[in-house]
Chains A and B, each alone.
Chain A
Amino acid sequence: MGLSTRHLLQLEGAPREDLNLILDTAESFREILDRPIKKVPPLRGKTVLNLFYEPSTRTRISFELAEKRLSADTISFSAATSSVKKGETLKDTVRNIEAMRIDMVVVRHSSAGVPYYLTQCLEANIVNAGDGAHEHPTQGLLDIFTIRRKYKKIDGLRVLLVGDIRHSRVARSNIWGLKTLGASVAVCGPTTLLPYEVERFGVDVYTNIDEAMEGVDVVNILRIQLERQQAGLFPSQREYTNLFGITAERLTRLNPNYTIMHPGPMNRGVEITNEVADGPASVILEQVTNGQAVRMAVLFLLSGADKRETDLTKTE
């Protein structure tokens, strides 16, 4: 039993068995979060470095809590207050830190491929916490976990991702993971915010939100980054809201028992109305809680991926 990999870099190409093992293990860890003492010992003595080259609130806090709840020692590093400012390269920074005996590194970086690069220069297990527009695998997993908890399955569900698909690592991780587990995936957004050759992802592509919502079980609404408007990718916030904003009226086209998700941070009144964000079908805060359980499962399973071989202690 165990993962087929010692790093979590992406969900693209991740075997179904690995995804299911992480989701099943997360189910067990989810219960720990409801205990009076939310701490278990399996990562005692391990040291985890959180290497954040990009700002983050929830992912970083979620990873830190997950690590602490598994009894790991944690150090958090943010590029803004470090020697990176003095011109130190990424490789030198991490190798110096690893010389302090780090077992696992959780990394977020604005460049795609940085987590992979770290696997080439470090011994530690690497967890991708978001790299450029490539992937954000733990967010994809926690979205899938949240869906699976509600519907008790992924296979056969219809999931729609709305918004800036092109720049979204969350969308990519969701697409790969969901498709591997048998969901049918659709994307919808302005043409300028869809990736080139988006069909290659094996998803249905819509530019009309009302058509896209037909027969959908789960709508995952991505944050519209307001700086994209300055780049000229959509004419105005108001137009985006009119054409793609998720309003209560639009929800009528969804399947009964539908679910509304958002990875955060939300622009209320832009991509999602207050009514939808706080409505009964919204699982947005559940996603955040579940994120901890999923990250605990990932860290726990990766820590077991390369145990030193020793005599088995016989237990009953």
Chain B
Amino acid sequence: MTKSDAIQFMDKQAIDRAITRIAHEILERNGGAESLVIVGILTRGANLAARLAQAIEGIEGIAVPVGLMDINLYRDDVNYNPDLPEVRQTEILFDIDGKNLILVDDVLYTGRTIRAALSQLIDFGRPKTIQLAVLVDRGHRQLPIRADYVGKNIPTGFDDDVQVRFVERDGVDEVVLSLAAAK
């Protein structure tokens, strides 16, 4: 696969606008930021969660608590995948009981990561609602899961590769699609 086979679907401006719009949608639906907490799924969901919280603070002036979560212990393929997943930190240092919890990930695909995240969140408490925000929905769900807030829908083939890159981790803000046929 060469670089030229990758198609850029979102640039920095598009990502910023999507995050700002999602922040407004979250505030509208939840009637403000008081009841909100945000949890991002490692690794890029955590970056996105931090940005969403920043956007919400910019609009409402309220700092929403942000946590991060590693879902690897809750994966459904632990017994099927020959490589043991690396278990990383989970940090949810606030009470989620009765909150409107915004679960954040970069890409929504099969839905299995979100299923694992939901199982794990329930072990931390009982939020009033759990709402899902993703930057990209690329389809191909294998479970009955949908996002409440979507930055962009990107039609993909099952074997294509969608990469979200954030400047704090990858040096650039962009969403790139690499076609499987080009591999």
B11 CB to nearest A CB, Å: 22
Residues in A neighbouring B123, C-beta threshold 8 A: 35-37, 39-40
Contact of A315 (CB < 8 Å), options: B75, B88, B124? B75
Contact of A42 with B73 in the complex, beta carbons under 8 Å: yes
Chain A: CB-nearest residue to B80: A310
Residues in B neighbouring A31, C-beta threshold 8 A: 89-91
Contact of A28 with B89 in the complex, beta carbons under 8 Å: yes
In this complex, the member of B73, B88, B108, B119 whose beta carbon has the largest number of chain A beta carbons within 10 angstroms is B73
**From residue 106 to 150 of chain B, which have CB atoms closer than 8 A to chain A?**
107-110, 112-113, 119-120, 123-125
B61 CB to nearest A CB, Å: 31
CA distance A308 to B124 in the complex (A): 31
Residues in B neighbouring A314, C-beta threshold 8 A: 110, 158
Residues in B neighbouring A42, C-beta threshold 8 A: 73, 78
Contact of B86 (CB < 8 Å), options: A1, A308, A309? A1
CA distance A309 to B80 in the complex (A): 7
Contact of A307 with B86 in the complex, beta carbons under 8 Å: no
Judge whether A304 is part of the interface by a CB distance below 8 angstroms: yes
Contact of B73 with A316 in the complex, beta carbons under 8 Å: no
Contact of B109 with A313 in the complex, beta carbons under 8 Å: no
Residues in B neighbouring A37, C-beta threshold 8 A: 123-124
B48 CB to nearest A CB, Å: 14
**From residue 277 to 316 of chain A, which have CB atoms closer than 8 A to chain B?**
300-301, 304-305, 307-316
Judge whether B87 is part of the interface by a CB distance below 8 angstroms: yes
Contact of B74 with A41 in the complex, beta carbons under 8 Å: yes
Contact of B112 with A309 in the complex, beta carbons under 8 Å: no
Judge whether A27 is part of the interface by a CB distance below 8 angstroms: yes
List 6 A-B pairs, minimum CB-CB distance, nearest first: A304-B84, A316-B109, A37-B123, A313-B77, A40-B73, A28-B87
Chain B: CB-nearest residue to A304: B84
CA distance A310 to B82 in the complex (A): 7
Q: Using a CB–CB distance below 8 Å, which chain A residues touch chain B?
A: 1-2, 25, 27-29, 31-32, 35-37, 39-42, 45, 300-301, 304-305, 307-316
CA distance A29 to B87 in the complex (A): 8
Mostly, the B contact residues are loop
Give the total number of A-B pairs whose CB atoms are below 8 A apart.
79
Number of residues on chain B facing chain A (CB within 8 A): 33
Contact of B88 (CB < 8 Å), options: A28, A39, A304? A28
Judge whether B79 is part of the interface by a CB distance below 8 angstroms: yes
Q: Using a CB–CB distance below 8 Å, which chain B residues touch chain A?
A: 70, 73-91, 105, 107-110, 112-113, 119-120, 123-125, 158
In this complex, the member of A36, A301, A305 whose beta carbon has the largest number of chain B beta carbons within 10 angstroms is A36
CA distance A304 to B72 in the complex (A): 13
Residues in A neighbouring B77, C-beta threshold 8 A: 312-313, 315
CA distance A316 to B125 in the complex (A): 25
CA distance A29 to B72 in the complex (A): 12
Contact of A307 (CB < 8 Å), options: B81, B87, B109, B124? B81
CA distance A55 to B147 in the complex (A): 54
> A31-B91, A316-B109 known; A1 and B83 CB under 8 Å?
yes
A111 CB to nearest B CB, Å: 32
> A31-B91, A316-B109 known; A40 and B81 CB under 8 Å?
no
- List, sorted by A's number, 21 A–B pairs whose CB atoms are closer than 8 Å: A1-B83, A1-B84, A2-B83, A28-B88, A28-B90, A36-B124, A40-B73, A41-B74, A41-B119, A300-B73, A300-B84, A304-B78, A304-B84, A307-B81, A310-B82, A313-B77, A313-B80, A314-B158, A315-B77, A315-B110, A315-B112
Residues in B neighbouring A25, C-beta threshold 8 A: 87
CA distance A40 to B85 in the complex (A): 14
Contact of A316 with B113 in the complex, beta carbons under 8 Å: yes
Contact of A35 with B124 in the complex, beta carbons under 8 Å: yes
Contact of A45 (CB < 8 Å), options: B79, B86, B89, B158? B79
Contact of A2 with B80 in the complex, beta carbons under 8 Å: no
In this complex, the member of B77, B87, B110 whose beta carbon has the largest number of chain A beta carbons within 10 angstroms is B87
Residues in B neighbouring A41, C-beta threshold 8 A: 73-74, 119
A274 CB to nearest B CB, Å: 35
Contact of A312 with B109 in the complex, beta carbons under 8 Å: no
Chain B: CB-nearest residue to A2: B84
Chain B: CB-nearest residue to A301: B84
Residues in A neighbouring B80, C-beta threshold 8 A: 307, 310-313
Residues in B neighbouring A39, C-beta threshold 8 A: 123
Residues in B neighbouring A45, C-beta threshold 8 A: 79
CA distance A310 to B77 in the complex (A): 10
B44 CB to nearest A CB, Å: 11
CA distance A316 to B77 in the complex (A): 12
CA distance A99 to B77 in the complex (A): 27
